[in-house]
A and B are shown apart, each in its own frame.
Chain A
Amino acid sequence: MWRNSSPFFSWLFRNRSLLFTPEGIRFLIFTLAVGVAAVNTGNNLFYLLLAMMLSLTVMSGLLSEICLRRLEVRRQLPTYVFANTSAPVSLFVVNRKRYLPSFSLHFFDVVDGHDIDRKISVAHMAPCSSILVTYSLVARHRGIYRLTGLRVATPFPFGLFQKKTLIPLDATITVCPELIPLPAALSHVFSALGQEQGLIRRGPGMALYNLREYHPGDDSRAIHWMTTARTSKLMIKETEAEDQQRVTILLSLFSPETDEDNFEHAVSVAASLLTLFHQRNYFIQAVIGDDTFFFATGEDHYTEILRSLALCRSREPLRSEATVHGPRPSAEDSLCIAILPWADLGVKEQFSDADCIITLDGNKQVVYESRSRVLP
């Protein structure tokens, strides 16, 4: 009521909230008891004790307010994270107060209006100082993880209550599907396969691909010293990739609502396969529902496919014969793997050209079905 009625109070209480600690509640009860005793008896010494207890409460409010004032926080998030996998998040906290320190700061991520305690505390921040703290973020489900803000709380000085302030730090992270361990047999098979293509690209190898200027982050062992000496610039030698394997990953999005778990698991299998092939420098083509990613390699390509996997949603199959996938790009000259969360016969027929069809059994175990000459 106050917050709305007066600009002063709305200024005073901006983004602030109070939460009494168990000790604070007891203290409050004692204060009320002393107040009742003072009013009942009119004894001024009781009033003095009441004033003492009230002054401690007021001081708590003032000092905690000072602690929370003029704090600047920046959060650095990774571009994407995998579900159920911890990812490092760093908070850069600056105390912009010139003379006053801040004590006992606790940080909470605000997600959907709820405070999530990351168990991060800063015991002491000197005036005009900064600190970098890191914590692990674990998202449970793939999709977009939205952090609406950061709440900073302090129980300083007496721990009677926690005063909290909300710092609006809106941020989103793409939560990619959880990476799951693939069956060893399947990994082994895939590692032995691939279509040899004569495409020239960068990658680990011996033959010279290119010379370019050094960029921060490059491996210093790759510096081409002769060229560096000649041009007076740090030059890097890039090599031509020796393996040129290509793979097409097809993910069907048709899955009944009742099999949502299966669908999620299938998406995880797709992400895990994608990661496997990405780590092996495959040229990857992916078709996820209506999204098509043509053959390419590299981190950006990988990230884009992962993002698509993170955001894809299952589609309710009406009838098996009506569940028709759209046109797909050619998967010729590549290993084509189809992942079907809903192993309907009609759907399987549509992926008859795939070298391998991966489905899930009732226990969410990966079942693969080879349709190619190259697969055992």
Chain B
Amino acid sequence: MSLDRAFYLSSILLAGAAFGSLALTADVPTWLLALGAVTYTVCLVRIVTGTEQRPWLAAVRLSPVAWNIILLTAFAEFWIDVLWISQELLSAGIRFLIVLMINKLFNLQQRRDFLHLYAISLMAVLASASLTTQVWYAPIFLAYLFAGIWTLLLYHLTKEREDAATGTSHIASGTTQDGGQITSRFFWTTNGMAVCAVCLTLSIFFIIPRVGVGLLQKNRGEGLRTTGFSERVDLGVMGSIKEDPSIVMRVELPDSKLPKGNFYLRGMAYDHYNGRSWSTHLSTRRPLNEKPQGTFTIRPGGSQHSKKSSPEIRQDIVLEPLDTPVLFGAPGASSITGDLMGVQSDSMGALFLPFPPSNRTEYTIRSRSALLELQEQSATLLTYPEFVRQHYLQLPPLSPQVAELTHGVAQDGHTPYEIVTLVRDHLLTTYRYSLDLEATQSNTPVEDFLFIRKTGYCEHYATAMILMLRSIGIPSRLVTGFLASEWNKFGNYYTVRQRDAHAWVEVYFPHSGWITFDPTPPVALAQTNRWWQSVEGLVDSIRLQWDRVFIQYSATDQLAVLQGVREGGDVLRNSLSESLASRLGLLLDRFRTTSTAMAPVNVKQAAFMLVFMMTGLLLLAAILLKKPWKNLRGERAPAHQVFAVRVYGQMTAFLETRGIRRSAHETPAEFVRHVEREWAAGSFCVRKLTDLYCRVRFGQHPVTSEDVTAAQHLLDQLQNLG
């Protein structure tokens, strides 16, 4: 491919990457997108096939007047859009940018047109960067960078060629690409440059100090709408989001293995049920102490005597922006760490941000969930504190059937724990899980679930269990959150979606605290294509990494990296010094042992060692003085010198065959006189070749093409004489 064509192609590809980024990001009208795509295709076909082969392509042109009218119209439309229609500068500007890009793509003739196209492309990429944080921006950016490198390089090279052609400068040698063609070497070198540029870009990106002033910054809008995490939750609201696959958060467990049972992410807890909805009467929130900076310590609630708990689970959570300030984590949270404005907690252990986050939130939470103590499992009678009895035994007006059912189920239970287990098992086994419920406005939804429909989902199960337990005097509460079940094997984290929203039960035991019980039967997951699921997992993992490494990268991360490097350096230095000290000690010990052993008897061996060491030192000194590596560094004689020496060598070799040998002490001039004495007929050629040799070898004179021809001719002449 010729340089010029490659230059056109790279320019079009650059514009294509920019157009693609706008098309994927912005709300651009379909007709404008279609027009842009057609323009782009026409330009590509023009370049790839050439207008000579398809003359109709050349005819696809508008007159300058028509273009001016179109641009003026687009400019007027831009202002109308900004002032009256969308009233958004960015979206109106993007539409105008696309029109400008189409204009330039159709009218790429002069150098300034190309420069305008590059400026428009850059603005387009900038505009799309301001509108998106999606992972597809990464390939678009890479394509833009590659095309940018090619374009800038070819712009420069073609400009130099043009300057030479117009006589502005005189190009002295052949061009880079064999007569203006892209060679494979040029192709790979340029791509190598692009790869280097990518690496350099990433290095600079991570090093460049992060400062966010935030002037004129636009809010990204509301977070994901979710239900079940407000002060009051109507029974059955979770059903509306149980089909929603939107990702709510991703949870990594860096220090722990995968939990054996269900992995619950606790959100809010509710104590009061009025027959149709749950609410909390203990909603007073208090801010948590931040000590050390960035770490908020959570005081354990419930039991003050709980001794038995599960091993600590560390969870690194990336929470998408939601419309609720609730923070999620495994039950029994003990501390929360992150770049958070503040954390609040209510008396039921729910954690809150001061306000719903507008951006993604990253935090680490450490949990140690309570385990039921053995004596409480077997205790027939438990004494509950007044506060617990007051809040967690509350019941709405219920049908006596509920109490009858509970007594029937619990009649075989001798201890509160057995009763709880029996009730849970009854619910697990007797009722059918289904999301397909008719939207009835029943005043007694739990009774409907227990006695009429016998079908429901997590909220119904959990509420029914709580009411049954409370009816026989066992304190319990409803907890809403998520049940994480989708493990991403590529990124090693749980993907938690809206449809994973869940409600379960916490039962109070005076010594053990609040223990989790889940009466909802496991849901049979819909069979999905395993291959597709893997791809989805992979894409999600890439998306998470993109968000973590690029989108959320902040000054805090930079500091963390710096600290890590410093700590790594300290560790390395310490280990090196320790290693050196130990090796040196070992060496000294050996030397001491050897010298002690040698001293009385083996003087010869000691002398040999001494001589050996001295020789080594001398050798080292000689190497340091001579610096033989200097010759390895590329001090190679230039080609013209090599040529002169080669020809002279051939001449002396030939003369040797005639018995005229050059002695070591003879200078080239002396050798000429030697030849004159020995073989006068050849002396003329020898003198001329020696002249050339001396001029080039010692006089550093250049060798012209005439010199080369003459030298070759003289050598031939000499050999013919012989």
Tell me the bound Cα distance from A128 to B638 in angstroms. 5
Q: Is the CB of B141 within 8 A of A39?
A: no
Contact A123 B156 (CB under 8 A): no
A131 at interface, CB cutoff 8 A: yes
- The answer to whether A46 touches B171, judged by C-beta atoms less than 8 angstroms apart, is no
- Within residues 54 to 71 of chain A, which ones have a CB less than 8 A from any CB in chain B? 54-56, 58-59, 63, 70
Instruction: Report if A45 contacts B (CB, 8 A).
Output: yes
Q: In the complex the two chains form, what is the Cα distance from A128 to B635 in whole Å?
A: 9
Report A27-51 CB contacts with B as 1/0, cut-off 8 Å. Answer: 0001000100101111111111111
A106 interface residue per 8 A CB criterion: yes
Contact in complex: A123, B173 (CB < 8 Å): yes
Task: Of the listed stretches B119-127, B321-329, B430-438, B527-535, name the one at the interface; the rest are far from the partner chain.
Answer: B119-127
Partner of A42, one of B176, B211, B635: B211
Contact, CB under 8 Å: A158 / B156 = yes
| With A39-B211, A45-B551, A130-B638 as contacts: A216 and B688 at CB distance below 8 Å | yes
B229 at the interface (CB under 8 A from A): no
CB distance from A217 to the nearest CB of B (A): 11
Which of B196-204, B332-340, B397-405, B563-571 makes up part of the contact surface? B196-204
B621 interface residue (CB < 8 Å to A)? no
Cα of A26 to Cα of B119 in the assembled complex, Å: 9
Contact A131 B634 (CB under 8 A): no
- Please indicate the chain A residues that have their CB under 8 angstroms from the CB of B683 in the complex: 233
Please pick, from B212, B634, B688, the residue contacting A98 in the complex, using a CB distance under 8 A: B634
B200 with A124: CB separation less than 8 A: no
- Interface-lining segment among B51-59, B60-68, B147-155: B147-155
Interface residues of A in 70-91 (CB under 8 A from B): 70, 74, 90
A232 to chain B, nearest CB (A): 4
What 0/1 pattern do residues 120 to 162 of A give for CB contact below 8 A with B?
Answer: 1111110011111101000000000000000000011111100
Which chain A residues (211-226) contact chain B, with CB distance < 8 Å?
216
Q: Within the complex, what minimum Cβ distance (angstroms) separates B29 from chain A?
A: 24
**What string of 1s and 0s marks CB contacts (under 8 Å) between B4-47 and chain A?**
00000000000000000000000000000000000000000000
A124 in contact with B174 (CB, 8 Å):
yes
Closest residue of chain A to B133 (Cβ to Cβ) is: A45
Cβ A42 vs Cβ B141 within 8 A: no
Q: How far is the CA of A41 from the CA of B129 in the complex (A)?
A: 11
CB distance from A243 to the nearest CB of B (A): 34
Taking a contact as CB atoms under 8 Å apart, the answer to whether A43 and B208 are in contact is no
Q: Which of A103, A121, A159, A234 has a CB less than 8 Å from the CB of B155?
A: A159
Complex: A99 Cα to B148 Cα, angstroms: 26
Which chain B residues lie closer than 8 Å to A119 at the CB level?
168-170
Name, among A106, A121, A160, the residue most crowded by chain B CB atoms within 10 Å (CB to CB). Answer: A121
Task: Tell me the chain A residues, 267-322 only, with Cβ under 8 Å from chain B.
Answer: none
**Cβ–Cβ < 8 Å partners of B203 in chain A:** 55
Chain A residues with CB below 8 A from B153, complex form:
157-158
Most A CB atoms within 10 A — which of B157, B201, B639, B640?
Answer: B201
Asked if A52 is at the interface (CB within 8 A of a chain B CB), the reply is: yes
B89-130 interface (Cβ within 8 A of A): 115, 119, 122, 125-126, 129-130
For chain A, residues 155 to 174, give those with C-beta under 8 angstroms from any C-beta of chain B.
155-160
- Are A124 and B175 in contact (CB-based, < 8 A)? yes
Residues of chain A within 8 A (CB-CB) of B152 are: 56, 157-160
CB–CB B702/A40 < 8 A: no
Does B160 interact with chain A (Cβ within 8 Å)? Answer: yes
Q: Is B205 at the interface (CB under 8 A from chain A)?
A: yes
Contact between B201 and A52 (Cβ–Cβ < 8 Å)? yes
Q: Which of B214-222, B465-473, B512-520 contacts A (4 or more CB under 8 A)?
A: B214-222
Please determine whether A55 and B691 come into contact, CB atoms closer than 8 angstroms: no
Decide: B156 and A104 in contact? CB cutoff 8 A: yes
Asked if B129 and A74 sit within 8 Å, CB to CB, the answer is: no
Assess the B702–A132 pair: CB atoms within 8 A. Answer: yes
Q: Chain B residues near A94: list those with CB within 8 A.
A: 638
Tell me if A348 counts as interface (CB < 8 A to partner B).
no
Closest chain B residue to A92 by CB distance?
Answer: B702
B487 at the interface (CB under 8 A from A): no
**A49 with B129, Cβ < 8 A, contacts A44-B551, A130-B702, A159-B152 known:** yes
* Alpha-carbon gap, A44 to B635, bound state (A): 46
Among A40, A47, A74, A123, which residue has its beta carbon within 8 angstroms of that of B214? Answer: A40
* Contact partner, B208, options A51, A106, A131, A155, Cβ 8 Å: A51
The reply to whether A123 and B122 contact each other, CB–CB distance below 8 Å, is no
| Contact A58–B200 (Cβ < 8 Å) | yes
Size range of the chain B interface in the assembly: 35 or more
The answer for the CA separation of A135 and B633 in the assembled complex, in Å, is: 33
Q: B540-566 CB contact bits vs A (8 Å, 1 = yes)? A: 000000000011110000000000000
Q: Is the CB of B636 within 8 A of A98?
A: yes
Within 8 A of B (CB), among A98-120: 98-99, 103-104, 106, 119-120
Does residue A97 face the partner (Cβ distance < 8 Å to B)?
yes
Q: Is the CB of A48 within 8 A of B172?
A: no
Whether a CB of chain B sits under 8 angstroms from the CB of A196 is no
A32 CB, nearest partner CB in chain B, Å: 13
Does B609 make an interface contact (CB < 8 A)?
no
Please determine whether A34 and B636 come into contact, CB atoms closer than 8 angstroms.
no
Cα of A108 to Cα of B168 in the assembled complex, Å: 14
Q: Counting CB contacts under 8 A, is B210 at the interface? A: yes
CA distance A40 to B683 in the complex (A): 82
Query: A103 CA to B702 CA in the complex, in Å?
Result: 21
Q: How far is the CA of A46 from the CA of B213 in the complex (A)?
A: 14
In the bound complex, how far is the Cα of B159 from the Cα of A155, in angstroms? 11
> A216–B197 contact, CB under 8 A?
no
Chain B 182-198: CB-based contact to A (< 8 A → 1; otherwise 0): 00000000000100110
* Nearest-CB residue, chain B, relative to A231: B680
Q: Is A23 an interface residue when CB atoms closer than 8 A count as contact?
A: yes
For residue A16, CB closer than 8 A to chain B, the reply is no
- Which residues from B are CB-within-8-Å of A160? 152
Check B216 against A40 for contact (C-beta < 8 Å).
yes
Q: Are B691 and A120 in contact (CB under 8 A)?
A: no
With beta carbons under 8 angstroms apart, the residue of A26, A40, A59, A98 that contacts B215 is A40
Known interface pairs A56-B148, A121-B160, A216-B688; A128-B126 also in contact (CB < 8 Å): no
CB pair B172 A41 closer than 8 Å: no
Please pick, from B149, B164, B210, the residue contacting A47 in the complex, using a CB distance under 8 A. Answer: B210
Q: Which of B204, B214, B217 contacts A55 (CB 8 A)?
A: B204
* Closest residue of B by beta carbon distance from A118: B170
Q: CA separation between A54 and B173, bound complex, in Å? A: 32
* A96 within 8 A of partner (CB): yes
Given contacts A41-B217, A48-B205, A96-B638, contact A122 B173 (CB under 8 A): yes
A45 touches B638 (CB 8 A): no
Query: What chain B residues lie within 8 Å of A131 (beta carbons)?
Result: 172-173
Question: Which residue from A39, A52, A104, A232 sits with its C-beta under 8 Å from B212?
Answer: A39
With a CB–CB cut-off of 8 A, which chain A residues contact B718? none
How near does chain A come to B644, taking the closest CB pair, in angstroms? 12
Of the candidates A50, A130, A159, which one forms a contact with B640 in the assembled complex, judged by CB atoms under 8 Å apart?
A: A130
Contacts of A56 in B (CB 8 A): 148-149, 152, 197
Taking CB atoms, residues of chain A closer than 8 Å to B216 are: 40
Given known A-B contacts A30-B119, A34-B126, A92-B702, A104 and B550 have beta carbons under 8 A apart:
no
Question: In the complex, what distance in Å separates the CA atom of A90 from the CA atom of B634?
Answer: 26
Residue of B nearest to A59 (CB): B197
Contacts A30-B119, A74-B700, A122-B173 given: A48-B638 contact, CB under 8 Å? no
Q: Does B409 contact A (CB under 8 A)?
A: no
Chain A residues whose CB sits within 8 angstroms of the CB of B196 once the complex forms: 59
Cross-interface CB contact of B217 among A40, A106, A130, A157, cutoff 8 Å: A40
Is the Cβ of A51 less than 8 Å from the Cβ of B204?
yes
Q: Given the complex, which residues of B lie within 8 Å of A122, measured CB to CB?
A: 171-173
Pull 10 A–B residue pairs with CB atoms less than 8 Å apart, ordered by A: A30-B122, A42-B214, A90-B702, A121-B171, A122-B171, A123-B164, A123-B176, A129-B638, A130-B638, A130-B640
Q: Which 7 A-B pairs rank lowest in CB-CB distance, beginning with the nearest?
A: A42-B212, A98-B634, A45-B129, A159-B156, A232-B680, A55-B200, A51-B205
Given contacts A58-B204, A123-B175, 11 further A-B contacts (CB under 8 A): A41-B217, A42-B217, A50-B208, A52-B201, A55-B197, A121-B171, A157-B152, A157-B156, A159-B152, A159-B156, A159-B159
